[in-house]
């Protein structure tokens, strides 16, 4: 089976996220389009995860105490199953709110198609 083309994870977290995730920071990136969301992470090796927006069941924005101090947040896109989903880690807090709203709109539009 040939995997569909997912968007390139070209957006990076702000430099201040390096304080929270010094080993992971170089590999953090994310991207989304009207069909898929994709994120890369990893401490030693790059790990990519992508999820079709039609399958996303819930969206969560998480800010822990360290993240609040650094003004960063993590967006979780959850799908059915145990550990299936994507985490867009250590985004700028302001951008994460806008991205969350945009992802919700895109997921609704993708399910209507």
So what's the architecture of 15-112 in CATH?
A: Roll (2.30)
Predicted pLDDT of residue 87: 92
Q: Where are the domains of the chain?
A: 15-112
User: pLDDT band at 2, cuts 50/70/90?
Assistant: very low
Q: Which residues pair with 41 in a beta bridge?
A: 47
3-state secondary structure of 29: strand
Please say if the pLDDT value at position 61 is more than 80. yes
Interval 67-106: pLDDT, tens: 999 999 999 999 887 777 889 999 999 999 999 999 999 9
Q: Rounded to an integer, what distance in angstroms lies between the CA atom of residue 15 and that of residue 51?
A: 26
Which residues touch 53 (CB under 8 Å, ≥6 apart)? 32, 34, 35, 36, 37, 103, 106, 107, 110, 111
Q: Give how far the C-alpha of residue 61 lies from the chain's centroid of Cα atoms, to the nearest Å.
A: 10
Please say if the pLDDT value at position 3 is more than 70. no
User: pLDDT band at 1, cuts 50/70/90?
Assistant: very low
Predicted pLDDT of residue 39: 92
Nearest CA among 67, 90, 70 for reference residue 13 = 90
Which value, to the nearest 10 degrees, does the dihedral of the CA atoms of residues 31, 106, 100, 5 take?
Answer: -20
Q: What is the pTM of this model?
A: 0.85
Average pLDDT rounded to a whole number, residues 8-37: 90
């Amino acid at each position: 089976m040939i995997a569909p083309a997912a968007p390139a994870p070209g957006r990076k977290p702000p430099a201040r996220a390096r304080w929270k995730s010094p080993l992971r920071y170089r590999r953090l990136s994310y991207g989304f389009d009207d069909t898929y969301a994709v994120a890369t992470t990893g401490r030693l090796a790059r790990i990519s995860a992508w999820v079709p927006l039609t399958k996303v069941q819930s969206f969560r924005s998480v800010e822990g105490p360290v993240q609040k101090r650094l003004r960063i947040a993590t967006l979780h896109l959850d799908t059915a199953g145990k550990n299936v989903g994507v985490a867009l880690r250590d985004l700028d807090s302001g951008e994460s709110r806008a991205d969350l709203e945009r992802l919700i709109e895109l997921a609704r539009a993708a399910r209507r198609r």
